[in-house]
Amino acid sequence: MDNIVLAHGSGGRLHHELINEVFRAQLSNPRLDQLLDAAILDLPSEGRLAFSTDSFVIDPIFFPGGDIGCLAVYGTVNDLAVSGAIPRYLSAGFIIEEGFSLSELKTIVTSMRQAASQIGVEVVTGDTKVVGRGQVDKLFINTAGIGLVPAGINLSPGQVQSGDQIIISGTLGDHGLAILAQREGLAFSTPVKSDCGSVLRLAQALLKVDPTAVRCMRDPTRGGLATTLNELAQQGAVCLKVEEDRIPVLPAVQGGCAMLGMDPLYLANEGKLVAIVSPDRADEMLSVLQQIPEGQNACRIGEVQEAPRGIVLLRTALGAERVLGMLEGELLPRIC
């Protein structure tokens, strides 16, 4: 059988074959293999737990640089990582359209296994539902993650202080433009790939320098860097001032955005982090990031001011200042 049918979600023989031949075949580990209604997890007695969940409805499900499978793993792991947690366990829920290719499903689950193995997390429980044709678009995935926040780590926008420095770990807008190009059949002279990947090594490297000097971290996904910075400014009741000519954007992304009338600061990223750190450790932290392959384009892009509170100011390449607002409306739906 080459395609998913409704019976794959019925709980009967085909359902069990799907679980064993697709999901367990790739994601097998002692906890998952017990096939319990709930995974029983061993957790250290010290520290605190971080718990996150996310749903992935991206279109197309295969794109330059990744697919919905690795995106579902990286997306939840990154939310844990920028919270200061060490990811440990994931759940995975699949909603599959009748008629979806079984071979493509296997490819996606293999991608999830590879991403989880790279990070060192286990998918320990999950669920599968099959719905009729047209009731879902091919495949939706929900992942939830549990991580351990070690003692001494307490990240929050409320920790941000005037003079703190703003660091971004790499180029912006890669994922958003790659998805748009794939979806609309656009071809650029220099192909753009999604930055879909883990920020765990980057986050842990910053915390290793000095956990008390890292005020907060975020991964600028939907709404891009501009929206993420606005969220931080409002939650921390501070002003974030950034320099336009310091913000790293690949020439291909800059050119594509210029052609399409888009701003890379509002495009989604899936493998970057933004960190606000104390000024006395900023140079050291930036150097540490730049020594990691996925952080080689890390830059310091601005600093925190006390006022005007709750906004982001952008100093343009021409020296003028303007308010950089949140994303208004839906720039690009189904981006993750």
The pTM of this model reads 0.95
71-97 mean pLDDT? 97
Show the CA angle centred on residue 213, arms to residues 207 and 215, nearest 5°. Answer: 90
pLDDT digits (tens, 9 = 90+) for 137-148: 999 999 999 999
Of 33, 126, 51, 112, the closest CA to residue 87 belongs to: 51
pLDDT digits (tens, 9 = 90+) for 102-119: 999 999 999 999 999 999
Residue type, 296: Q
Other CB atoms closer than 10 Å to residue 147's CB: what's the count?
25
Of 33, 31, 78, the closest CA to residue 56 belongs to: 78
- DSSP assignment of 124-179: EEEEEEEE-TTSSSSEEEEEEEEEEE-TT----GGG--TT-EEEE-S-SSHHHHHH
The number of residues making up the chain comes to 336
In this predicted structure, what is the pLDDT of residue 114?
A: 98
Task: Kindly provide the residue ranges of all beta strands, DSSP E only, lying in the chain, ordered along the sequence.
Answer: 48-56, 62-63, 66-67, 86-97, 122-131, 139-149, 165-168, 214-218, 239-243, 274-277, 299-305, 312-315, 321-323
In this predicted structure, what is the pLDDT of residue 262?
A: 93
- Topology match between the domains 6-149 and 157-323: no
Q: So what CATH class is 6-149?
A: alpha beta
What residue ranges do the domains of the chain occupy? 6-149, 157-323
Question: To which CATH superfamily is domain 157-323 assigned?
Answer: PurM-like C-terminal domain (3.90.650.10)
CA distance 107 to 40: 28
CA distance 165 to 57: 34
DSSP 311: -
320-336 mean pLDDT? 90
Other CB atoms closer than 10 Å to residue 108's CB: what's the count?
25
3-state secondary structure of 63: strand
Arithmetic mean of pLDDT over the chain: 95
The encoded tokens of residue 46 equal 């010290």
Show the CA angle centred on residue 32, arms to residues 28 and 37, nearest 5°. Answer: 155
